[in-house]
Structure 1
Amino acid sequence: MKRIVKNRPELLSAGDAESRRIVLDVAEGALDRLNAENRIRSIMHREGSVVTIGKKQWDLSKKRRVYLIGAGKACNAMAMAVEDILGDYLTDGIAIVKIAEESDRFRRTRVYVGGHPMPNETGLQASREILKLIDGACAEDLFFCVMSGGSSALMSCPVEGLTLQDEIDATNVLLKSGANIREINAVRRHISAMNGGRMAQRIAEKGAELVGFNISDSVAYGPTGDISVPWENFCATPMGADQTTVEDALAVIRDYDLESRLPERVVRYLKTCGPAGETPKAFPQNTYYQINTLPDSCICAAEAARELGLPAVVLTTFLEGEAADAGRFMAAVARQIQTYGQPVSAPCVVLSAGEVVTTILDDRAIEGHGGPSHEMVLGFAEGAAKAPGVCLLSVDSEGTDGTTLAAGGLADSTTLSALAGQRIDLPLALRRHASHEALAAVHGAVFTGNTGTNVCDLNVMYVPRKENRGGL
């Protein structure tokens, strides 16, 4: 199995090493199975000028130009696979990534490092270059698009009348509002010239064909199943139809009391744009392949656990809400399993996935760094002290969590005492949103770099038998 966690030896040097090894093995096994480069290569190949994906074929010799467009936190792996398969038939390509790795291999694709979670000038420049490619296209051209979560920020390109700073400020407010990702995107898509399907709309207006590969980090989709079969009723920003509306965006502003916090121009635009500001709702002419979805992470993790000889239960793939509260809940589940054998008997692996959030109403409260996965693990640590040997690993599956370069964190039943030994107050660290600093001090911050997928949060909890472990 490929080792994905870069600081694995450090993580195993502290706490309950055996429990930590198990959650690391399960997580790495899952991420290895989810790697998008391998997934795309398993269904796409080229013989001469003919590209085959599943049961569909495209003769590239009959196309005037072939383009590759990519954006997202898993874009590196996806774009490398498609570029390599297309070979010399690729005319030009543009990929907007969050982190450029030394191991990335590109020949004809221009790579830009965009901003995430906050948009940046480079992402705007890259988006404008993409629009130039599209505006010069015709009906004889073919676009291969590879997209994953994060494209909304990385493809920063506001509609006319708004500025990049408006997008940045709006994103900052939305991410700290407590709104879920669908609600956040309802606003972001309607102020973007790229997202919400508007990039695909521009390609369609030129009569060109679009073939898309997508990784979905939405809790709305079920498992992928056969990834070689085109995905019907595909909806995803920026290359697919949008299910949100301008009214949805306005409802988010009302529900979370954001009118006074969002940029005035953004609020005014959404209130006055009317039907012309609505995003496209269908692209029946395009072909889309869903490479990973959020539930796939738990399916792959369960397979990895079984390889270790451990039973695995998927608790939920719809986990949302406040991150620290979710961590406290997972600790309560661990105690229930150890004490009463419910809902399963120990030893076992308990899996969950979804997208928890961290609400920050006042930036002045921030005195450190972190993200939802960090805060979930820190929330888990207090209750875990009462369940000897339990361990929780939570990572943002693409490799970076919140404002850090760490994928997330790991805590076991010894973490609370380790924090106390470092004179770190756990509740205070959560209130000050300094979860990364707290976990790093006790060898609990997990580093992976780009993983080749992006299916939101993956949470792996190991619960051993209580016998011979001591504790309460």
Structure 2
Amino acid sequence: MKKIRNSEQIVAQGDAASRKLVLEIADRTLDKLDSYRRIRSIMRMEGEVLHIGVRSWDLSKKRNVYLFGAGKACNHMAMAVDHVLGERLTRGIAIVKIHEETDRFNKTEVYIGGHPLPNEEGFRASKQIIEVVDKAGPDDLFIVVISGGSSALMSCPIDGISLQDEIDTTDVLLKSGAGIYEINAVRRHISALNGGMLAKRIQDVGAELIGFGISDAVGSPATGDIAVPYAAYKSTPIGPDATTLDDARATIVNFDVAGRLPKNVVDYLMNAGPERETPKAFPDNTYFLLNTLPDSCIYAKQACDEMGIPAIILTSFLEGESRDAGTFFASIAREIQTYGNPVKPPCVLLSSGEVTTQILDNSSIRGHGGPGQEMTVSFAITAAKTKGACLLSIDSEGTDGTAKVAGGITDSGSLKAATEKGINLYQSLREHSCFEALSAISSTVFTGNTGTNLCDLNILFVPAIEKAR
């Protein structure tokens, strides 16, 4: 089944040829990244022996085998483990962002957590996870699957901080302009599970932990052989935490949010002693890293090669304000088409990373959207000068910001199409209502759960134009 479910509507608008090409690249890339396929390629049961890559476990020596999961790609990750273990699984708990009708589990309970803001259901599921771990012992095995979004979905604040405090803290940080590292530095240090605290609980009862992860951190190297345990695994609920209490304090100061965060959160972080630091090492755990952020560009480049389209990877470190990135990409497209720099058209430029949208005043919000949608709206304004140029920007897990779409796609004709429908794209950016603007011109991208979570994937196609003699 195609990953992009509304392709027909998208190509019926604007520059159909450019849109079709970009959508095909995106679809092939998402298919290559699907975590269900990745896990099943290295995990199998033979009798009572569990094989994962180059390692094996005799489950006849285990009393219980538990599966926990959280993240925006958790559906596919947890299903893969659940399907392999079958009746050998004692109990599973998965916290997902969206529960698809096609999800099928044997012995795993599914909870719909909140993202980007935590919710009560994710909190209840997290409490159940803690209850299971605290009753476990040395003869038990925990298999935990984690992808991006777990910080919000597996929400369980420490004593003295309420769920509402955590919700308010997340909301303020996401709109502060802070990067994900800075945001996580705060969130992990007020959590009973995140920042390695789940792994610490498992370690404290003497049980064994096997972790599967997808790293969406900007700066992570590309994956190698996923069948070999990954020694440098970091962060999330099951790995050592790279952030520190000092990082959390610096975030509060540098982004001037002390006055907007809940007072007890600020007081706690500013006064917490070293005993409150998150764990920094788990040498006895076994981790398998399925994908990292650069993989999306690498697989997209492979897709372009298969299709015979010249392509270059521009960057897998893209960060900053989403609308600025959209203008930048449109400027690059014009340079390519006009002067052939830095590469001659036709060509595809690929990038990944995590752009953000700064919102200092919630009263300015008049609609819905997310960074990918804002990037493509901004692109549309400037790209009107570059015939056939087309940009797709999606959050690779399938939801972008507050909208239930993966992102947006616009081309050189999108500005005119919006204007003809009475839509002012400049106003849409100011009022953060890009979802409504893109929907009106059939330019949102809908995928549902994709089975991966590698932040933003941006695909820019620039066609050649026939110059006048």
> What is the aligned partner in structure 2 of residue 136 from structure 1?
135
Q: Distance in 1 between matches of 2:324 and 2:87?
A: 51
Amino acid in structure 2 at the alignment position of 1:89: R
Could you tell me whether the CA contact under 8 Å between 1:389 and 1:469 is conserved in 2? no
Q: Distance in 1 between matches of 2:243 and 2:118?
A: 21
Q: Deviations over 1:185-239 (max 9, x none)?
A: 0000001101000000000001111000001111121111211111112102111
Residue 345 (structure 1) shift: 1.0
SS at match of 1:244: coil
Could you tell me whether the CA contact under 8 Å between 1:351 and 1:461 is conserved in 2? yes
> What is the aligned partner in structure 1 of residue 210 from structure 2?
211
Q: Distance in 2 between matches of 1:296 and 1:468?
A: 37
Instruction: State, as a whole percentage, how many aligned pairs show the same letter.
Output: 59
Q: Distance in 1 between matches of 2:468 and 2:454?
A: 34
Residue 340 (structure 1) shift: 1.3
Residue 411 (structure 1) shift: 0.3
SS at match of 1:222: coil
Structure 1 unaligned residues grouped into runs of 5+: none
Q: Distance in 2 between matches of 1:47 and 1:138?
A: 25
> What is the aligned partner in structure 2 of residue 452 from structure 1?
451
Could you tell me whether the CA contact under 8 Å between 1:349 and 1:461 is conserved in 2? yes
> What is the aligned partner in structure 2 of residue 48 from structure 1?
47
Q: Distance in 2 between matches of 1:430 and 1:364?
A: 14
Q: Deviations over 1:66-92 (max 9, x none)?
A: 000000000000000001111111111
Amino acid in structure 2 at the alignment position of 1:147: I
Amino acid in structure 1 at the alignment position of 2:41: S
Q: Distance in 1 between matches of 2:147 and 2:289?
A: 10
Q: How does 1:165-244 map to 2 (within 5 A)?
A: 165-244=164-243
SS at match of 1:324: helix
Q: Distance in 1 between matches of 2:159 and 2:443?
A: 45
Residue 466 (structure 1) shift: 2.0
Q: Distance in 1 between matches of 2:102 and 2:50?
A: 26
Amino acid in structure 2 at the alignment position of 1:244: T
> What is the aligned partner in structure 2 of residue 386 from structure 1?
385
> What is the aligned partner in structure 2 of residue 349 from structure 1?
348
Amino acid in structure 1 at the alignment position of 2:445: V
Amino acid in structure 2 at the alignment position of 1:85: V
Q: Distance in 1 between matches of 2:198 and 2:386?
A: 50
Amino acid in structure 2 at the alignment position of 1:373: G
> What is the aligned partner in structure 2 of residue 274 from structure 1?
273
Q: How does 1:1-150 map to 2 (within 5 A)?
A: 2-150=1-149
TM-score, structure 1 as length reference = 0.98
> What is the aligned partner in structure 1 of residue 244 from structure 2?
245
SS at match of 2:136: coil
> What is the aligned partner in structure 2 of residue 410 from structure 1?
409
SS at match of 2:144: strand
Could you tell me whether the CA contact under 8 Å between 1:388 and 1:469 is conserved in 2? no
SS at match of 2:391: strand
Q: Deviations over 1:215-267 (max 9, x none)?
A: 11111211112111111121021110001011100000000000000010100
The verdict on how the C-alpha distance between 1:469 and 1:358 changes in structure 2, with shifts beyond 3 A counting, is farther
Q: Distance in 1 between matches of 2:342 and 2:284?
A: 46
Q: Deviations over 1:34-84 (max 9, x none)?
A: 000000011111101111111110011110110000000000000000011
Could you tell me whether the CA contact under 8 Å between 1:44 and 1:54 is conserved in 2? yes
Q: Deviations over 1:293-316 (max 9, x none)?
A: 100000111111112110110000
Q: Distance in 2 between matches of 1:229 and 1:343?
A: 38
> What is the aligned partner in structure 1 of residue 373 from structure 2?
374
Q: Distance in 1 between matches of 2:159 and 2:219?
A: 31
**Structure 1 residue ranges, 4+ long, deviating more than 6 angstroms after superposition:** none
Q: Distance in 2 between matches of 1:18 and 1:63?
A: 56
The verdict on how the C-alpha distance between 1:64 and 1:469 changes in structure 2, with shifts beyond 3 A counting, is farther
> What is the aligned partner in structure 2 of residue 290 from structure 1?
289
> What is the aligned partner in structure 2 of residue 328 from structure 1?
327
RMSD after superposition: 1.1
Q: Deviations over 1:382-419 (max 9, x none)?
A: 11111100100000000000001010000000001011
Q: Distance in 2 between matches of 1:61 and 1:87?
A: 14
Residue 455 (structure 1) shift: 0.3
- Which stretch shifts more, 267-276 or 461-470? 461-470
Residue 351 (structure 1) shift: 0.3
Residue 177 (structure 1) shift: 0.4
Residue 159 (structure 1) shift: 0.5
- Which stretch shifts more, 398-407 or 265-274? 265-274
Q: Distance in 2 between matches of 1:262 and 1:77?
A: 35
Q: Distance in 2 between matches of 1:336 and 1:137?
A: 61
SS at match of 1:355: strand
Q: Distance in 2 between matches of 1:192 and 1:233?
A: 22
> What is the aligned partner in structure 2 of residue 437 from structure 1?
436
SS at match of 2:56: strand
Q: Distance in 1 between matches of 2:232 and 2:41?
A: 23
Residue 13 (structure 1) shift: 0.5
Q: Distance in 2 between matches of 1:49 and 1:37?
A: 22
SS at match of 2:355: coil
| Residues matched between the structures, number | 469
Amino acid in structure 2 at the alignment position of 1:254: V
Q: Deviations over 1:4-33 (max 9, x none)?
A: 111111101100000000100000000000
Residue 3 (structure 1) shift: 1.1
Q: Distance in 2 between matches of 1:188 and 1:323?
A: 23
Q: Distance in 1 between matches of 2:139 and 2:172?
A: 42
- Which stretch shifts more, 337-346 or 73-82? 337-346
Q: Distance in 2 between matches of 1:233 and 1:15?
A: 45
SS at match of 1:356: strand
Q: Deviations over 1:131-176 (max 9, x none)?
A: 0110011011100000000000001100010000000000000000
Q: Deviations over 1:310-352 (max 9, x none)?
A: 0110000000000000011100111111111111111111100
SS at match of 1:378: helix
Amino acid in structure 2 at the alignment position of 1:213: F
SS at match of 2:408: strand
Q: Distance in 1 between matches of 2:65 and 2:199?
A: 15
Residue 469 (structure 1) shift: 10
Residue 468 (structure 1) shift: 6.3
